[in-house]
Amino acid sequence: MVTMKDVADRAEVSIATVSFVVNGTKRVTEATRERVEAAMRELGFARNPIGAALARGRTRILAMLFPALERPLSLTASAFFTSASRRARHRGYDLVMWPIGNDAEQIAVLARSGLVDGVLLMEVQLEDPRVAALVEHKVEFAMIGRTADPSALPYVDIDMSSSVEAAYAQLIAEGHEDIAFLASASPAYDHALVWRAMRAYREVTERHGHPTTLIACDEMPGDGRRIGERFAADYPDTTAVIILNEHAAPGLVAGLTHAGLDVPADVSLVSLGSSAYMAEMTEPQLTYMRTPGTELGELGLDALVDRLEDTQGPLPQVLLPCELVPGGTVAAAGPRRTPRRA
Amino acid sequence: MVTMKDVADRAEVSIATVSFVVNGTKRVTEATRERVEAAMRELGFARNPIGAALARGRTRILAMLFPALERPLSLTASAFFTSASRRARHRGYDLVMWPIGNDAEQIAVLARSGLVDGVLLMEVQLEDPRVAALVEHKVEFAMIGRTADPSALPYVDIDMSSSVEAAYAQLIAEGHEDIAFLASASPAYDHALVWRAMRAYREVTERHGHPTTLIACDEMPGDGRRIGERFAADYPDTTAVIILNEHAAPGLVAGLTHAGLDVPADVSLVSLGSSAYMAEMTEPQLTYMRTPGTELGELGLDALVDRLEDTQGPLPQVLLPCELVPGGTVAAAGPRRTPRRA
């Protein structure tokens, strides 16, 4: 059995320092932490024997909560998990994904189990029952997303207002006026991000005195496709669409193409909150606003661990905008041509 | 504090039966289990107080291992997690995703922690260091996938040989002879499924005396796109492609279209191991062979729980084929036309 003393000798630090690293009870420099962790690895020191971990009330395991029972992860959500997991490992924790969505009862089970030190919330809703349950059960957490009133809560999130403004400005600059907003429709899920985006869209259309055209779409390429196929008939005056639904965007391009509309000559598209992965699937490639998924995954993990290690520290509240990545789906507004085979 | 006696009274069963359900020590009928679990829910019975769980050596938590630190989950992998999680909940367990790839050391940490009762392995490699580590540390597991010699191991997997045969037969029937096979290239990962698929492809081409054309492609739409753009020059005689890389398939269609090749008039495509989600992104829609992800997730979870609850039972070993779903990307072989803008 390898002891903390063995690790301390190998890393040439005090036993107290090893204990700080193992238990997360006090901060040490990155260099020291790395030396101690290298020694632990080399000696095969079992950092997490559960009895000891529970005795000190720490397991160094964190849970990312995602409603995976209700719906599959998008590539973007998966990128959050990957970057947060890497960051967790770097800070001496393990992050696991726990499939809990809109379910306060499951939070209670998780809290009572004592298995995790803290929780990272994904897919935050305006009124999220998980937040109340976490507060009630005194589980430390941070949100990737924001509830309706997040002023007293730790979060990192997309700055949706400025991102919608930027997408809209891009299209206005090309002479578009009837710019629709296609958002995820998820009846089971009152997604705070979508709500904030629609509010920002309404504000910007009002400010410009332009039409407000809202399109709801399931989070499936097939639904984007169906909207594309009927687009000429359903939205005869609309020349551009901002799409906040990365799943539907390639399907929308396919549907428009199938119906004989040219992207971007007939309809310009900006995919808001997407990635190179989705953008490269279509011809032409999507013009998109990149979700800062890697950054938010890391910052969210840091927000949680900072809270765990220093509950008196400043409340982490970070907003990052989506960044515009030009593709081939935005062009100057012109008269809509008659579809070739609509 | 709600006791087992309270639950037994509410469910109108014996305390022993409640204990069987809570501890998984003996099977009960589905109807009885559901009655007991309903009573537990109604009374707020905490099934998983960790102290008691550890005292009896069971946490009723299972881990799905996926190399999420190395790469994001595909939608297909996410579907495995969703269906296995649902099935776990149904059988009275919680399934979490633990990001462990090609790393025996992390398995040792997980095993020593005592936190999980069993493990479901994703992305199985031909020689998978995780399998040896799980055996060494006496952790029950089941594989979704197969190592090189899985004869003594519990698994569920895609029947890749018959699936490749079916995809090939579909194209042969349309008169194609030079049928390429585009597979995932992942230098860090010796994926057993890809290896078995390529072996089956080599066998079927040899049997027919047709050319063997292997194309390696990163698991990104952009790489499929680049291959599509150069296709006419690089594979002048190839009239059809079987694609075992769901990420690349839509990009390949986009790249071929961009280069002026018509799908399917110039190049027929069958996407092997894919889903409606990916198929509906392209114009025309992809002809694909569906990964039985939901079924394999459930069967894999059942294989694991069956092993946990009856270690003397039969060894679960299940193969399911992919099922052909017609789309618009297969047509009769003809002379390749000159690309319009290659």
> Does residue B82 form part of some domain?
yes
Same domain, B231 and B184: yes
Same domain, A86 and A18: no
Q: Are residues A306 and A231 in the same domain?
A: no
Residue A312 inside a domain? The answer is yes
Asked if residue A273 is part of any domain, the answer here is yes
Give residue-wise pLDDT tens across range A121-166: 999 999 999 999 999 999 999 999 999 999 999 999 999 999 999 9
pLDDT 10s digits, B64-99? 999 888 877 888 888 899 999 999 999 989 999 998
Asked if B225 and A280 come within 8 Å (Cβ–Cβ), the reply is yes
Do A65 and A148 fall within a single domain? yes
How far from A63 is each of A119, A158, A161, A328, B18, CA to CA, in Å?
Answer: 5, 21, 29, 39, 29
What is the model's pLDDT at position A53?
54
Instruction: Say yes or no: B102 and B148 in one domain.
Output: yes
pLDDT at A245: 94
Domains in chain B, number: 3
Same domain, B13 and B100: no
Furthest C-alpha separation in chain A: 79
Residue A328 domain flag: no
Do residues B142 and B181 share a domain?
no
In A, which residues are within 8 Å of B112 by CB distance?
Answer: 46, 48-49
Cβ neighbours, 10 Å, residue B342: 14
SS (H, E, C) chain B: CCCHHHHHHHHCCCHHHHHHHHHCCCCCCHHHHHHHHHHHHHHCCCCCCHHHHHHCCCCCEEEEECCCCCCCCCHHHHHHHHHHHHHHHHCCCEEEEECCCCCHHHHHHHHHHCCCCEEEECCCECCCHHHHHHHHCCCEEEEECCCCCCCCCCEEEECHHHHHHHHHHHHHCCCCCCEEEEEECCCCCCEHHHHHHHHHHHHHHHHHCCCCEEEEECCCHHHHHHHHHCHHHHCCCCCEEEEECCCHHHHHHHHHHHCCCCCCCCCEEEEEEECHHHHCCCCCCCEEEECCHHHHHHHHHHHHHHHHHCCCCCCCEEEECCEEECCCCCCCCCCCCCCCCC
| A contact residues 90-109, partner B, Cβ 8 Å cutoff | 94-99, 105, 108-109
Phi, psi values for residue A203, rounded to 5° = -60, -45
B136 touches chain A (CB under 8 A): no
Q: What is the residue range of B263's domain?
A: 160-291
**B51 to chain A: closest CA residue:** A113
B185: left (phi over 0), alpha (psi -120 to 50) or beta: beta
CA distance B99 to B82: 16
> Which residues in chain B have Cβ-Cβ distances shorter than 8 Å to A99?
81-82, 85, 95-96
Q: Tell me which residues of chain A, numbers 33 to 62, contact chain B at a CB-CB cutoff of 8 Å.
A: 41, 44, 46-51, 53-54, 59, 61
Mark whether A230 and A307 lie in a shared domain: no
Whether B152 and B73 map to the same domain: the answer is: yes
**Chain A residues touching residue B284 (CB < 8 angstroms):** 258
Whether B333 maps to a domain, the answer reads no
Cβ neighbours of B283 in A, within 8 Å: 253-255, 257-258
CB-count exposure of residue B273 (10 Å: 0-12, 13-18, 19+):
buried
Q: Is the residue at B339 inside a domain?
A: no
**Minimum distance, in Å, between the CA of residue A114 and any CA atom of chain B:** 6
Interface pTM, i.e. ipTM: 0.81
Q: With contacts defined as CB-CB under 8 Å, which chain A residues touch B49?
A: 112-113
Which residue positions in chain B have pLDDT lower than 50? 48-49, 51, 55, 342
CB < 8 Å to A109, chain B: 46-48, 94
pLDDT at residue number B342: 42
Cβ contact, residue pair A49, B89, below 8 Å = no
- Number of Cβ pairs closer than 8 Å across A and B? 162
pLDDT tens sequence for chain A (342 residues): 677 788 889 999 888 888 778 766 667 888 888 898 888 888 877 654 454 555 455 788 999 999 888 877 888 888 899 999 999 999 989 999 998 887 888 888 888 777 899 999 999 999 999 999 999 999 999 999 999 999 999 999 999 999 999 999 999 999 999 999 999 886 555 689 999 999 999 999 999 999 999 999 998 999 999 999 999 999 999 999 999 999 999 999 999 999 999 999 999 999 999 999 999 999 999 999 999 999 999 999 999 999 999 888 899 999 999 999 999 999 999 876 555 554
Q: What is the CATH number of the domain that holds A257?
A: 3.40.50.2300
- Same domain for B133 and B143, yes or no, is yes
Tell me, yes or no, if B132 comes closer than 8 A to chain A by beta carbon. no
- Where helices occur in A243-287 by DSSP H, the ranges are 248-258, 276-279
**Segment (H or E) for A41:** helix A30-43
The residue type of A180 is A
The DSSP secondary-structure symbol of A271 reads E
Same-domain check for residues B318 and B277: no
Sheet-wide strand order for A179-184: A213-217, A179-184, A240-244, A268-274, A287-290, A323-325
CATH of residue B40: 1.10.260.40
My answer on whether B134 and B243 are in the same domain is no
Say what the pLDDT of residue A342 is. 42
